[in-house]
Structure 1
Amino acid sequence: MPRSHPSPGRVVILGAGPCGLACADELRRLGHREWLLLEAASTPGGLASSVVDPAGFTWDLGGHVVFSHFGEFDKLLSGLFAPEELLHHDRSSFIRFRDQWVPYPFQQHLHCLPADDAEECLRHLALACRQQREAHPAGTDFATWLQATYGSALVNRFFGPYNTKVWSTSPERMSASWVAERVAPVDLDEVLAAFSGTARPRRWGPNATFAFPARGGTGEIWRRLAARLGPRLRTGTRAAAVDDTAKSVVLSGGERIPYDHLVVTAPLDQLTDMVRTAPAGLLAAARRLRHTTVAMVGLGYQAPTVDRSSWLYFPQPDTPFYRATNFSKYAPANVPRADTSAFSAWMTETSMTPGTHTDLPALIRACDQSLRRHGLVPDWAPLASAHVEMVPYAYPVPTLGRDEALAELMPWMEARQIYPRGRFGTWRYEIGNMDHAVKMGLDVARRLVLGADELLLAAPQTATSPGSSS
């Protein structure tokens, strides 16, 4: 078939997470042969990797479920897994409020709150809904958006403490530009109907149903995709610098890898430090980007899996983690011998600012005690395993200055045939799921080989259609 676009020549991809793997696989599918995928870790998968601890429990690096906005992601999965190799679940998610569980999303289930809380939240919510007349102007901070959307009672009880906890950043320092499909909207008529008992709240969000690999955790997806890439995927290969003048990647051992186009899924601030000609102003812009570090504490118990929830949210400050995932419910094979009659597994996530000193034994004790205190694990259950994974770059924080920094960084990189992509390459949490990462990898490969538009990056991501937190 004749080309309608010049050959991209040598394409080097840094990072074998979902974005980098999808990019390499699409280059392969399109018949382009001059590509190389370099991964610093010993195994592929990036943030979507999974590990097996010495006791035989499987853990992800954080809370991942398989759902999709894109048919291309669905097609990828169907090509990697037989139907019986994926387990399918209806989401069962709750928020811990005082001493009870409130169904997710919190704002649609105010009728489940204690009477005094329910009355005040409903009154403030109704007032906020009456006062909304137009879209919030550009530059609105997240705290202002929350107050205007839900009212102060809901913000004080849930949105303020939970978002401060998950982001390790006050909402006043965050932008509201990221909330599309991340923060659940509110329908006052539905809330009132639930109070009167005439209707139940609708199930909301793209992850209302989700899939999960029957074996191997989320990382099994990316192990299978990596297996079909062959020797052009090199693991254990760390890039130390990018010589954009000579157009080569300098590896930590001194080897130089030439490129014509460089796709980078490493964090954008790290990439900027690596590029040798990056000017001082660009380095300053990169330093304005903020992210969280997350401690994933996986706790395996010698007790049967009996809780039916999928994952749970914890806004209260006396619980260290913001989310707990019922990991043995996702797949029995996540526990030893796939025996959920004998074992259960809870995956907890605790957010912190980068560089925070963490007393890991103390954190493990606190997480274990919190699971027991909230009734998720019986007091008598022996702790069979405690496994910790520190994720230095967990979530890019959508701060007030983020978009201005990206407006400096992204065009400068692209002018030098460097394409930052993926969750931390683009630094946009709102397109930071696995399916988004795959779509970005596919799109940039098609751009380089076919001259096609990158559809996801071109699509507007605004606050006009709020959605769920991940």
Structure 2
Amino acid sequence: MLVEREAEVGGHARSRREQGHTFDVTGHWLHLRDPRMQRLLASLFPGSSGEGVAAGWVEVERKTKIHAHGVELEYPFQANIHGLPLEIVQECLLGLVEAREARARGEAWAVDPRNFEDYARARFGEGIARHFFVPYNRKLWGMHPNGLAPEWVRRFVPEPDPAQIIAGAIGLRQTGLGYNARFMYPKAGGIDALPKALARAIEARCAASPSEHALRTATAVEEVDPAGRRVKLEGAADWTPYSRLISTIPLPELVARVDPKQVPAPVREAAAALRWVRWRYLDVATTRPIPADWHWAYVPEERFPFFRVGVFSNAVESMAPPECGSLYVELQDRVGEPDLPAIAQALVEVRALESTDDLRFCRVRDVEYAYVVFDDAHAAAVATIMAWLDAVGVRSCGRYGAWIYNSMEDSMLSGLAAAQWASGQLDAAAHTEAVARREAKPAPQAANS
């Protein structure tokens, strides 16, 4: 049995539609590198739309910018500082040299950085850290990056070599860096096409085999009893037994759904130590096309009320009516009422709007679980909880179930491994080892992000 709390499957990979505009829960661009996931997408959308892309999907070459100091730069910042004021370019290059010298001298912060700020300083220099990594991540995480551990960055922050950084400083554009240089997206618009296709496949399998249990939506899990191997579903009079349990419930909530008498004190303490970032963003519809041609842009400066802006309709035209636009705007403030006129004026400045008069409508959205916080307590707390879950026969997976930072493909692979575990093809220890090995392995410098 597959149980989903919401009325539709998909979690954060869902879409809203209004007046011809389509909005995902901010950017949900699909990057597939694993052949198993490529085959899965092809099986869910049989046929081909060219170049081996699944039918009904398009492959898009990423257009990403950074807006800083009144200049629109290529992504990533650390490899494309040409165009900034010359004194800032000098500061960034000098910082790069000083960081490499500090590493050669064996200075601890440069050799073995203990927090994300030191990682940025050690890898790119003080200037690049000060003008991009520190302010941008402070806006994104709602905390100073010196409180973040550096482990999560290895795949998701491009690490150009010094030659690339210098080349980008003198105007030789450095593009194609990062794991998401190209992405796939449904041609008809809306990333929810993927989870809906998965749901249809599950329903077809259940219909063909009476022994299979159906998918149940709009059903929350109220309580989990690992000792009795049963769950209490919302609205059900009786408990539902299970042989093996896979959960994608956010990790602290999963622990909270177990009777505290069954949860060892160290596990309860570990769950209490987990932290996360709440999200507030805007769905913005416009009456005219977006003047910028990028798909998303990073905005590190504090004077802007947002840190990232994305344009769905620049990636796939069907995300908005003809000659209109659909955007998402990720806000720095997650608590107060958004100052929409000020936000609109700031969007004009970064070329996401031609004029504030172009706004058709704007919707404020909140997400309780957005990013997992990688602080000093994270690694030990997650290891403690996962070891206990393994011992009681529960597999917790996905971004929030595994309490990690990952891509959609990573979550799909996590689900695949969990399914293999549940069917006896992969034991818990092997799964834990495989996940740890994958997360610890850095990607090549020119292709990671």
Q: Deviations over 1:232-255 (max 9, x none)?
A: 110000001101221111112244
Match of 1:296 among 253, 278, 281: 281
**Pair 401,119 (structure 1): closer, same or farther in 2 beyond 3 Å:** same
Residue aligning to 2:210: none
Whether the 8 Å contact between 2:291 and 2:351 is mirrored in structure 1 is no
Q: Which moved more, 1:411-420 or 1:212-221?
A: 212-221
| Shift of residue 395, structure 1, vs aligned partner | 0.9
Shift in alpha-carbon separation, 1:99–1:137, aligned structure 2, 3 A: closer
Name the aligned partner's letter for residue 263 of structure 1: I
Tell me by how many angstroms 1:137 deviates: 7.2
Matched, 1:307 2:300: no
Q: 1:91 to 1:297 in 2, by over 3 A?
A: same
Residue in 2 aligned with 1:62? 26
- Does residue 245 (structure 1) correspond to residue 209 (structure 2)? The answer is no
Structure 1 Cα separation of the partners of residues 395 and 48 of structure 2: 35
Q: 1:86 aligns with which of 38, 41, 57?
A: 57
Aligned residues: 422
Matches within 5 A, 1:27-46: 36-46=1-11
Residue 268 of structure 1: aligned partner: 251
- 1:196 shift after superposition: 4.9
Aligned in 2, Cα 1:310/1:216: closer, same or farther, shift over 3 Å?
Answer: closer
> Quick check: 1:179–1:467 contact (8 Å CA) kept in 2?
no
Deviation at 1:433, TM superposition (A): 0.9
Aligned counterparts of 1:139 and 1:448: Cα–Cα separation in 2:
39
Counterparts of 1:378-417 in structure 2 under 5 Å?
378-379=354-355, 381-417=357-393
Partners of 2:169 and 2:98 in 1: CA distance: 17
Structure 2 residue corresponding to 1:214, chosen from 187, 198, 203: 187
Aligned-partner residue type, residue 409 of structure 1:
I
* 2:331 is the alignment partner of 1:350: yes
Q: Distance in 2 between matches of 1:423 and 1:228?
A: 23
Distance 1:103 1:156 in 2: 18
Provide the C-alpha distance between the structure 2 equivalents of 1:83 and 1:324, rounded to a whole number of angstroms: 31
Query: For the Cα contact (< 8 Å) 1:174–1:400, is it kept in 2?
Result: yes
Q: Which amino acid is 2:335 matched to? A: H
1:36-85 CA-partner distances (Å, limit 9, x unpaired): 110000000001111112x2211101211111231111112112234331
* C-alpha displacement of 1:215: 1.7
Confirm or deny: 8 A CA contact 1:240 1:250 kept in the other structure.
yes
The residue aligned with 1:96 is 67
> 2:439 aligned with 1:461, yes or no?
yes
C-alpha distance in 2, partners of 1:469/1:251? Answer: 41
Amino acid aligned to 1:287: A
Distance 1:148 1:139 in 2: 7
Distance 2:166 2:407 in 1: 33
Percentage of identical aligned residues: 28
Larger mean Cα displacement after TM superposition, 112-121 or 277-286: 277-286
Give the partner amino acid of 1:60. D
Relative to structure 1, the CA distance from residue 409 to residue 137 in structure 2 (aligned partners, 3 Å threshold; closer, same or farther) is farther
- Please name the residue that 1:162 is paired with: 136
Relative distance call for 1:458 and 1:154 in structure 2 (3 A) is closer
In the alignment, which residue of structure 2 is the partner of 1:14?
A: none
What's the C-alpha RMSD, in Å, of the aligned pairs? Answer: 2.3
Q: Contact 2:114–2:150 at 8 Å: present in 1 too?
A: yes
After TM superposition, the score normalised by the length of structure 2 is: 0.88
CA distance in 1 between counterparts of 2:342 and 2:247 reads: 37
> 1:468, CA displacement in angstroms?
8.8
Q: Do 1:94 and 1:313's aligned partners in 2 also have CA atoms closer than 8 Å?
A: yes
Q: Name the counterpart of 1:321.
A: 306
Q: State the distance in 1 between where 2:356 and 2:112 align.
A: 53
Give secondary structure in 1 for the equivalent of 2:415: helix
Cα distance between partner residues in 2 of 1:380 and 1:424: 37
Give, in whole Å, the separation in 2 of the partners of 1:312 and 1:364: 19
What's 2:209 paired with?
A: none
Distance 1:218 1:365 in 2: 29
**Structure 2, unpaired ranges of 5+:** 50-55, 207-213
Residue 239 (structure 2) aligned to one of 248, 256, 260: 256
State how far apart, in whole Å, the 1-side matches of 2:446 and 2:143 are: 20
Q: Is the 8 A contact 2:251 2:402 kept in 1?
A: yes
2:179–2:448 Cα contact (<8 Å) kept: no
The DSSP-based 3-state class of the residue aligned with 1:74 is: helix
Q: Which amino acid aligns with 1:317?
A: E
Which string of whole-angstrom CA distances, capped at 9 and with x for unpartnered residues, describes residues 70-125 of structure 1? 11111121122343311221111111111111111001012232211101111111
Deviations 1:253-291, CA, capped at 9 Å, x for gaps: 244211111111010000010111113331221111111
Which runs of 4 or more aligned residues in structure 1 lie more than 6 Å from their structure 2 counterparts after TM superposition? 134-139, 466-470
Q: Which residue of 2 aligns with 1:223?
A: 196
Matched letter for residue 207 of structure 1 = N
User: Structure 2: which amino acid aligns with 1:370?
Assistant: A
- The partner residue of 1:107 within 44, 55, 78 is 78
In 2, the alpha carbon distance for the partners of 1:365 and 1:37 equals 44
SS of the aligned residue for 1:229 comes to helix
C-alpha displacement at 1:460, in angstroms? 4.5
Counterparts in 2 of 1:242 and 1:440: CA distance versus 1, 3 Å:
same
The equivalent of 1:4 in structure 2 is none
Structure with the bigger RCO (C-alpha within 8 Å, sep 6+) is: 1
Distance in 1, Cα, partners of 2:170 & 2:288: 40
Question: How far has the Cα of 1:195 moved from its partner?
Answer: 4.3
Distance 1:283 1:137 in 2: 35
